[in-house]
């Protein structure tokens, strides 16, 4: 029997409620391990260096270092890291701007339950 590799995930959101909800949602998927959480962009950068996740879910609007800047810095430091932006913000060019900054995926929080695992499966097809 082949053992499927588990994906190490770090979740960053400045809202404790959103952080708990996203983490709980991802824990329901058997192939994901939540290795840590971060409450702002600076914390995210420190935790990514310490924990070496394979996937980071990043809230766009965070204090100290925002999600876009944190994504750009993560992309430079960890080119193999997969990054999905999750946001409540909207705008016609927002998705494109996130992808230009280094995100691999983009999900509106209002569609999180329907779209987040779809994005994860797209980024890690061999794990599913």
pLDDT tens figures, 13-34? 999 999 999 999 998 888 899 9
For residue 95, the model assigns a pLDDT of: 85
Rounded distance between C-alpha atoms, residue 32 and residue 25, angstroms: 10
For residue 106, the model assigns a pLDDT of: 94
Counting residues of the chain whose pLDDT is more than 70, the rounded percentage is 95
| pLDDT of residue 91 exceeding 80 | no
Domain count, the chain: 1
Q: What is the CATH number of the domain that holds 85?
A: 3.40.50.2300
Sign of CA dihedral 37, 50, 71, 80: negative
pLDDT average, residue stretch 109-125:
92
Tokens standing for residue 75:
């992309």
User: Is residue 65 one of the residues assigned to a domain?
Assistant: yes
Quick check: 103 and 84 in contact, CB under 8 A? yes
Rounded distance between C-alpha atoms, residue 118 and residue 113, angstroms: 9
Q: pTM value?
A: 0.92
User: Is residue 2 one of the residues assigned to a domain?
Assistant: no
For residue 4, the model assigns a pLDDT of: 64
Determine the structural domain holding residue 114 and report its residue range.
7-127
């Amino acid at each position: 029997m082949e053992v499927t590799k588990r994906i190490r995930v770090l979740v960053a959101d400045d809202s404790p409620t959103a952080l708990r909800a996203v983490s709980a949602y991802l824990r329901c998927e058997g192939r994901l391990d939540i290795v840590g959480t971060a409450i702002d962009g600076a914390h995210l950068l420190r935790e990514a260096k310490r924990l070496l996740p394979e996937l980071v879910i990043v809230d766009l609007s965070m204090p100290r270092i925002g999600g876009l800047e944190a994504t750009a810095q993560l992309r430079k430091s960890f080119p193999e890291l997969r990054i999905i932006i999750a946001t409540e913000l909207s705008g016609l060019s927002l998705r494109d701007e996130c992808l230009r900054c280094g995100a691999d995926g983009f999900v509106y929080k209002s569609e999180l339950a329907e779209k987040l695992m779809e994005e994860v499966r797209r980024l890690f097809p061999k794990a599913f």
